[in-house]
Amino acid sequence: MPINMKFLGKTYPPVKYEVGLEKIKEYAQAIGDMNPYYVDENFAKSSKYGSIVAPPTFAVVYQKDLVGQMLFDRELDLNIPMLVHGEQEFEFFEMVKPGDVIYTDGKIVDIQNKDGKDFITLQTTAKRDGKVVTIGRYLFVIRG
């Protein structure tokens, strides 16, 4: 059964995430990027940023709970066993640092049905102190 178009434009309330120093370092290590901006506190402190900064793809960490809201939305009722993560992209506006408190909200911006498959796109907006730090777009495919 195709995803109902009535869900196009559905929004999800903000999710709070507090960025931790060790989380940034652990994430950098997990992705194999030991850039000193991400892991070396002494180097980073003397940099133009003044502290450790998160790798750009750390956005998946502070946006994951918002994405989960959509994936497990009972009203939307996605067929999770048939769901495939299709694409993901980010736009970056601000550096993310330890101690930042980020609020991410989301909106379903596209729903399509092609060749017996549903395509649903969630756009997320992550903000710190009301200022956008990252916009994410997640495309999921639900196989028929």
**Predicted structure pTM score:** 0.93
Domains recognised in the chain with CATH numbers: 10-19+54-142 (3.10.129.10)
The string of pLDDT tens digits covering residues 98-143 is 999 999 999 999 999 999 999 999 999 999 999 999 999 999 999 9
Q: How far apart are CA 136 and CA 123, in angstroms?
A: 6
For residue range 34-82, list pLDDT tens digits in order. Answer: 999 999 999 999 999 999 999 999 999 999 999 999 999 999 999 999 9
Distance between CA 38 and CA 35 in Å, rounded? 5
Who's near 44: CB < 8 A, 6+ residues apart? Answer: 36, 37, 38, 50, 51, 52, 53
Residue with tokens 């950098």: 28
Evaluate the CA torsion angle 90, 91, 96, 101 in order and state its sign: negative
